[in-house]
Amino acid sequence: MTNTANDKSNTTESKTLDINQIKQYLPHRYPLLLVDRVLNWEADKSITAIKNVTANEEFFNGHFPHKPVMPGVLMIEAMAQTAALLSFLSMGKKPDESNVVYFVGIDGARFKRPVEPGDQLKMDVEILRVARGIWKYKAKASVDGQLAVEAELMCTMRSAADASQPAA
């Protein structure tokens, strides 16, 4: 039996999300929804998700037509979306139009290999800590077991009414 996002039990069973469930937790839509499936997650700990990189991605038209590679900033964004999923799943709530999730920092980003059409980008994200409304994560993404990118990411959730105010 597979647990879904609605079950926050402390079991060792696999917890997965398909694209329709992911869309309930992320406001992003094509072409900026960069998570296709959640393979496993554990509340308050970690998540593993994938992005299937296809030749039809819009960004390949300009990056680069002669040698298509996924832009590094989009690899970081895919990991950030995976981190946001983990935060919402850990809190047991879904976003609504009254909240906004913002990046507040990226540390130690390192790009190790290009990601090309046909690759499957596997994101592994773990929560390092949550303090004063700031979530800090360790994130890695790989292709076929080879590290493609790694970084520490920091995000905060704000009410939409306060979204134009600087983060604390």
108: left (phi over 0), alpha (psi -120 to 50) or beta: left
Cβ neighbours, 10 Å, residue 139? 25
- Give the 3-state DSSP-derived string for 99-142, with helices as H, strands as E and coil as C: EEEEEEEEEEEEECCCCCCCCEEEEEEEEEEEECCEEEEEEEEE
CA dist., res. 90 & res. 108, Å (int)? 25
Helix (H, G, I), strand (E, B) or coil at 85: helix
Catalytic residue check, 63: yes
Residue 50 and residue 120 in contact, taking contact as beta carbons nearer than 8 Å: yes
Q: Which of 13, 20, 151 has its CA nearest to residue 94?
A: 20
**What are the helix (H) ranges across the chain?**
19-25, 72-91
Q: Which of 63, 113, 136, 140 is catalytic?
A: 63
Q: Active-site residues: which are they?
A: 63
